[in-house]
């Protein structure tokens, strides 16, 4: 009679995503438990309330600038954390990955924005003066958000794919160029009827500057989120993007409102 073979269950650890192998499954839990009395913040670590640097302060001490008590603190040395995961990923990622990420995010952002703008906010025969709310609010909201959406996803999930802060701005400018070029082609050759040379020149100069400038403003917030995550080795806070994104949307909307006002006041300028 032979002995039955032990029923070895499959190794559950091997089935986990690579991000969580040999690490905690949750990286951003607040460090609120006792046991670190007397330790100080030993690195650059910004306050969650005001952004002041907490380096040198005891862990239980409120921020010296605003008095906010930060529960998110650097992990103890040698522990598995978001810092150890990000460091390993940065070391394993080749420098050329940053260039591939720049091009990919630029193409995806530009294409998503133009497809959504053309299908959702610029139907055939659309004239901005016929639907000012659509052109002033919803158009800029969709366009500026989607141009940086791919970059925001990468920075939140895999920030190590970008290698330098300048790559984020390069990707944003690329998305804006792709979007504006395709939008100009659509307007000049399909939506406008015999546009004048002045109007064509205007679209290839002023409109280019508008879109690139607004997208770079939004990218400033993303670059700050990425820099905070990769220098302090802490979970990215995409919500910090919103002030710069809202600024870009407002500038774009004010521009559209001004153009609509000119169209209604001096319609012959746009023929």
pTM reported for the whole predicted model = 0.81
CB 245 within 8 A of CB 144: yes
What separation in angstroms does the CA of 103 have from each of 30, 106, 161, 162, 168? 36, 5, 12, 11, 10
CB 178 within 8 A of CB 114: yes
Q: Tens place of pLDDT for every residue, the chain, 271 residues? A: 444 444 444 443 434 344 444 444 445 455 555 556 668 888 899 998 898 999 999 877 899 999 998 877 788 777 778 888 899 999 999 999 999 999 999 999 999 999 988 875 554 444 454 566 777 888 899 999 999 999 999 999 999 999 999 999 999 999 999 999 999 998 888 877 788 898 899 999 999 999 999 999 999 999 999 999 999 998 899 999 999 999 999 999 999 898 888 777 877 666 5
Residue 270, pLDDT score: 61
Per-residue exposure over 25-62, b if at least 16 CB sit within 10 Å of its own CB, e if not:
eebeeeeeeeeeeeeebeeebbbbeeeebbeebebeee
Kindly compute the dihedral angle of the four CA atoms of residues 253, 257, 259, 262, in this order, to the nearest 10 degrees. -170
Cα 145 to Cα 133: distance, rounded to the nearest angstrom: 17
Q: Per residue, what are the HEC states of the chain?
A: CCCCCCCCCCCHHHHCCHHHCCCCCCCCCCCCCCCCCCCECCCCCECCCCCCECCCCECCCCCCCCCCCCCCCCCCCCCCCHHHHHHHHHHHCCCHHHHHHHHHHHHHHHHHHHHHHHHHHCCCCCCHHHCHHHHHHHHHHHHHHHHCHHHHHHHHHCHHHCCCHHHHHHHHHHHHHHHHHHHHHHHHHHHCCCCCHHHHHHHHHHHHHHHHHHHHHHHHHHHHHHHHHHHHCCCCCHHHHHHHHHHHHHHHHHHHHHHHHHHHHCHHHHC
Residue 98, pLDDT score: 95
Residue 199, pLDDT score: 86
How do the domains of the chain map onto residue ranges? 93-270
């Amino acid at each position: 009679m032979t002995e039955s073979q032990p029923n070895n269950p499959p190794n559950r650890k091997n089935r986990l995503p690579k991000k969580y192998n040999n690490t905690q499954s949750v990286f951003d839990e607040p460090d609120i438990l006792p046991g670190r009395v007397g330790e100080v913040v030993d690195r650059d670590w910004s306050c969650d309330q005001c952004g002041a640097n907490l380096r040198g302060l005891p862990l239980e001490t409120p921020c010296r600038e605003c008095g906010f008590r930060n529960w998110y603190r650097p992990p103890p040395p040698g522990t598995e954390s978001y810092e150890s995961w990000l460091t390993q990923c940065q070391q394993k990622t080749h420098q050329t990955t940053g260039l591939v990420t720049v091009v990919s995010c630029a193409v995806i952002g530009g294409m998503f924005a133009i497809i959504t703008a053309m299908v959702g906010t610029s139907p055939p025969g659309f004239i901005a003066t016929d639907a000012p709310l659509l052109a002033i609010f919803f158009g800029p909201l969709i366009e500026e958000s989607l141009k940086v959406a791919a970059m925001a996803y990468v920075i939140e999930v895999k920030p190590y794919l970008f290698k330098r802060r300048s790559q984020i701005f390069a990707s944003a400018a690329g998305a804006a160029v792709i979007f504006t070029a395709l939008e100009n082609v659509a307007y000049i050759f399909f939506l406008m009827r015999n546009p004048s040379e002045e109007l064509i020149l205007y679209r290839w100069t002023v409109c280019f500057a508008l879109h690139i400038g607004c997208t770079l403003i939004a990218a400033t917030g993303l670059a700050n989120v990425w820099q905070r995550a990769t220098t302090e080795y802490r979970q990215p806070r995409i919500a910090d993007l919103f002030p710069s994104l809202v600024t870009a949307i407002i500038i774009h909307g004010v521009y559209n409102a001004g153009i609509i006002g000119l169209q209604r006041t001096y319609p012959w300028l746009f023929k």
